[in-house]
Structure formats: C-alpha cells, structure tokens
Amino acid sequence: MRKGLVVQKFGGSSVADVQRIKNVARRVVGYRGKGYRLVVVVSAIGDTTDELIQLATQINPEPSEREMDMLLSTGEQISVALLAMAIQRVGFEAISFTGLQVGIITDSSHTKARIIKINTEKILEELNRGRIVIVAGFQGATLNQDITTLGRGGSDLTAVALAKELEAETCEIYTDVEGIYTADPRIVSNARKLGQITYDEMLEMASLGAQVMQARSIEVAKKFDVPIHVRSSFSEKPGTMIIKEVKRMEEVLVSGVTINKNEAKITVCDVPDRPGVAAKIFKELSVGGINVDMIVQNVSHTRKTDISFTVAKTELGKASKIIRKVASELKAGEVLQDEDIARVSIVGVGMKSHPGVAADMFDVLAKNKINIEMISTSDISISCIIKKQFAEVAVKALHDKFCTEKKQKGV
C-alpha cells in the first residue's frame, strides 16, 4: 500500500456548476495541503451526458456505440480540464487526463467496456512532481486507441480500479449524501448513518435499491480489497467505510433496510410442471435482453404451477410480449402483470447465523397488515414483494424492529 496516496471521486452533481467545481477544488487542495498525494476522478458536469444522448438521438435514433462513446467521453474531458483550472487558480499544481491518455485500457465493448489494464506510470510520474492528478471517470480506450465508456456508474469503477492499481490507502467516493444509512432518511426519520459496512452488505444494498454506488465497482473493490469511503461533497464529516470485515462492538443482525419501487411483477399461471419449462421461459427473456430479478416458483401439488418473477418497470412491455408468446407455446394459463409493487429488503451479514430473522421480518409485516406476495432470500438479505402503497409503512416498521440503537444493543 502507498501510504498517503488517496483516490477521490466526485460525481456529476458535485461538479454541476462553476461554484461547485470551485468548491471541489477547495476540498481537494485542503487534502493536498495535509500532505496527501491525490488522484481525483471526476464525472461529467450535471446533466451533460443526458444532453449529449438527446442530441445524438435527434441525429440518429440508433447511433453507433463507438461514436456514442466518442461523444459522451467529452463530458468528463470538460470537467477534468475545468477542475484542473480551478485547482491551479488556488495555487496548486494539477494536470488532467482523459481515460485514453492516462492508459485505462479496456476491451472494445463500446458503451459497457470492461477494464483490462491500467498503466500507472504517467500518474505516478505526475504525483512525484507534486501535482494533483485529475482523471476523467467513466472512460477508457482500446489498445487501438478507440475511446470506450464503462456504462452507467462507470466513474466509481474508474476510481476503484485506479485505487487498486495505484495501491491507494483509500478510495473516497464523494456524493450528495453523507454516507450509507440504515434506511433512506427521507422515509425513515430516525435512520442512522453507518460507520462501516461490508462489501457484501453494500452489494446487497446496491442491488436492492440503495443508489449511492454501482454494484460493479463494489464487486471490484471487494475482489481486490480496496477500502472505500463514501462521504459528502458538502461536509467534512466522515461518511461510511466499505470494507471486508466490520468489527462491531455488538453483533448487528441487520445493517439496513432498503426499498425498490422500480420493479414490476409478472406471473405465468398454470405452467405445466415438467423439466425444462422454467429454462425455456428465462432463456427467451435472456435472449430478448431482459434482466430478471427475483424468481419464485412454488412447489407444485398438481401437474401445474405458477411462476412469478420481477423485471425493471422500464422493461415490462418488452418482457410481457415475450412471455405471452412463450406461455402460449407452453400451453400455460393466464399471464398477470403488476406494476404496483415494491420490494422491501433487510440486509446484514449477521443474519447468516440467525435463521430467526426471516420469521421476525414476516411477523413485522403481518402485524402491519401487509400481505407478502413474493419472498426471496440470500445469505445476507431477505426481500419481500408487497403492494407499493405499503412500502413506507413497511420500511419504517422494519427499521424500527431491526435498526434502532436500542434494538441492536439488545441482540
């Protein structure tokens, strides 16, 4: 590990206007003044990316992905140049790089490229000159120097991958919230900021609806054991550390409660209960490019069964079309769909050794007269699909049961 080397990532909202860029510059030089060597990863300014996408689709509704990457990568190039200027303005040395320039080598899967390798010489050279190095997030280039982008949330990935390759002390992710909370503070007023959380818990929370960091970058951080510090761009307070193992004073069963209202449920009724049927359904969806999330199939007592699953609401139309075709081929029954659902989940590594947690969760929902439509569990999370209108009540009740100080100390 390189002591004193820190990678800091600032998202699009942190650099949304001239004043915020100056603010980020002040934050950065504050750390530089304390002697840290800094690599700063920046996203595109505010809504730049969306505006460029809109411009492209006006010109070509199906733009080539290579050209899309050429276009979108300008967003971060603008913000790194401006941040370097802002840092220079307050008297510190800074130099900006695009992904191509700095040597973030990716495969050629345009718009969703994977990082193959990062050349760190250029960065280390500039750090040794005492400069703050500003790197464009979200982008890289193929060995042939074609510009690529890493997909949504790609700037987090740039930061984590750089932190790994540079053997940084920490990777700081600056965002507009103060860290990871036990629940969304806008819904649960007594939600608490977590001091620490494990990669696994954060992964579950990310995929279950907490939108602070993209799952892919957490996976990479976990794989290479990169310590991540999620904190606020607008406050000096420490945020949440995402690390391998959390040593807590008392054992905590549940680290957080999440909510996700962006899914829809599809049920195929009276599916013939024979081998290969589920495979056929989900293969067709996969070929159609549909990401399926929860899947539930009940044990069947007859020769027929019901299969339910959830998909992103934005893909409901497409999924529904595919599934009606499959259902008719399989001679299955009715296809039902429901957009009025929410997924509430509890997440925590402590659950592994406490099987009673699931029962407690169902009990809380029952006491609040909330019907559970689907259940899905992992090692460290339990999710229930309920009617959307009960989502807030459910989250508050679950948080009250599992996440308040009093409850946790009692475990």
What is the contact surface with a second copy in residues (CB under 8 A)? 18, 21-22, 52, 55-56, 58-60, 63-64, 66-68, 70-71, 73-74, 77-78, 80-82, 84-86, 88-89, 95-96, 98, 100-101, 145-147
CB of 30 to a second copy, least distance (A): 18
Compare residues 77 and 308 and give the one whose CB is closer to a second copy: 77
User: Which residue lies nearer to a second copy by CB, 71 or 370?
Assistant: 71
Kindly tell me which of 123 and 281 has the beta carbon lying closer to a second copy. Answer: 123
Per residue, what are the HEC states of the chain? Answer: CEEEEEEEEECHHHHCCHHHHHHHHHHHHHHHHCCCEEEEEECCCCCHHHHHHHHHHHHCCCCCHHHHHHHHHHHHHHHHHHHHHHHHHCCCCEEEECHHHHCEEECCCCCCCCEEEECCHHHHHHHHCCCEEEEECCEEECCCCCEEECCCCHHHHHHHHHHHHCCEEEEEEEECCCCCECCCCCCCCCCCECCEEEHHHHHHHHHCCCCCCCHHHHHHHHHHCCCEEEEECCCCCCCEEEECCCCCCCCCCCCEEEEECCEEEEEEEEEECCCCHHHHHHHHHHHCCCCEEEEEECCCCCCEEEEEEEEEHHHHHHHHHHHHHHHHHCCCCCEEEECCEEEEEEECHHHHHCCHHHHHHHHHHHHCCCCCCEEEEECCEEEEEEEHHHHHHHHHHHHHHHCCHHHHHHC
Rounded least distance, CB 234 to a second copy, Å: 19
* Comparison of 126 and 204: residue with beta carbon closer to a second copy: 126
Least spacing, CB of residue 127 vs a second copy, in Å: 17
Nearer to a second copy, 73 or 345 (CB): 73
Least distance in angstroms from the C-beta of 10 to a second copy? 15
Nearer to a second copy, 82 or 327 (CB): 82
Q: CB of residue 78 vs a second copy: minimum separation in angstroms?
A: 5
Least Å distance, CB 17 to a second copy, is: 10
Nearer to a second copy, 56 or 187 (CB): 56
Distance of CA 215 to the CA centre of its chain: 4
> Minimum CB separation from a second copy for residue 398, in Å?
46
Minimum CB–partner distance for residue 18 and a second copy (Å)? 5
| Closer residue to a second copy in complex, CB, 81/358 | 81
